[in-house]
């Protein structure tokens, strides 16, 4: 999709994330692993995205995903509750992912994003693959302590969640 805009200096696009898109968060503990799936429709804060292209570098304005922090399903009541407590969903109901820029190198993209979790914002760069036009996949590994979150401990500390978690994106988009 972006390669079509590589020669343009500036353009506004209407971008929509399709229903079949998925976001999940994977983690492990010293005894098990877990995966939490985002259950709501994935939406952009603003569907009108401003795109400034300079060869294979794309700066984006208004490209922000708003995720409801309590809309992740980890497969059970107890783990859902633990996950919501970890993310402090009552105090911080949104997870925001702002896409600042994308660099293209053949069929591989590198996204520069700001991730806001529990009121803390951190910048990341990660690889995004495009198996098909308008389909983007990626894994972003973050450390929860970077967001001043404490990994849950159970049974007086015998069971502890690892601080590294993997946010998996499988996004299908359309231009309107």
Condensed to tens digits (0 to 9), the pLDDT of residues 103-159 reads 988 778 899 999 999 999 999 999 998 878 889 999 999 999 999 998 776 666 667
Output b/e per residue, 21-53; b: 16+ Cβ within 10 A. bebbbebeeeeeebebebeeebebeeeebebeb
Question: What percent of the chain lies above the pLDDT cut of 70?
Answer: 92
Mean pLDDT of all residues belonging to the chain:
88
Question: CA 43 to CA 21: how far, in whole Å?
Answer: 10
Phi, psi (5° rounding) for residue 9? Answer: -80, -45
Reported as a pLDDT band with limits 50, 70 and 90, residue 1 is low
Domains in the chain, ordered, with CATH? Answer: 2-175 (2.40.128.110)
Which has the higher per-residue pLDDT, 45 or 71? 71
Question: CA 137 to CA 74: how far, in whole Å?
Answer: 21
Reported as a pLDDT band with limits 50, 70 and 90, residue 80 is very high
């Amino acid at each position: 999709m972006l390669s079509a805009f590589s020669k343009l200096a500036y353009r506004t696009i209407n971008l929509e994330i399709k229903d079949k898109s998925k976001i999940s968060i994977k983690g492990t503990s010293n005894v098990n692993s877990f995966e939490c799936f985002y259950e709501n429709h994935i939406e952009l804060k603003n569907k009108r995205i401003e795109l400034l292209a300079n060869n294979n570098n794309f700066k984006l304005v208004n490209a922000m995903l708003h995720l409801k922090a309590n809309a992740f399903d980890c497969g059970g009541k107890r783990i859902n509750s633990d996950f919501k407590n970890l993310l402090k969903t009552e105090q911080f109901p949104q997870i925001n992912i702002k896409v600042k820029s994308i660099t293209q190198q053949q069929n591989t993209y590198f996204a520069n994003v700001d991730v806001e979790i529990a009121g803390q914002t951190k910048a990341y760069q990660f690889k995004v693959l495009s198996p098909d036009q308008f389909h983007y996949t990626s894994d972003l590994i973050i450390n929860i302590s970077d967001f001043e979150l404490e990994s849950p401990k159970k049974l007086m500390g015998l069971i502890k969640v690892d601080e590294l978690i993997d946010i998996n994106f499988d996004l299908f988009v359309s231009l309107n």
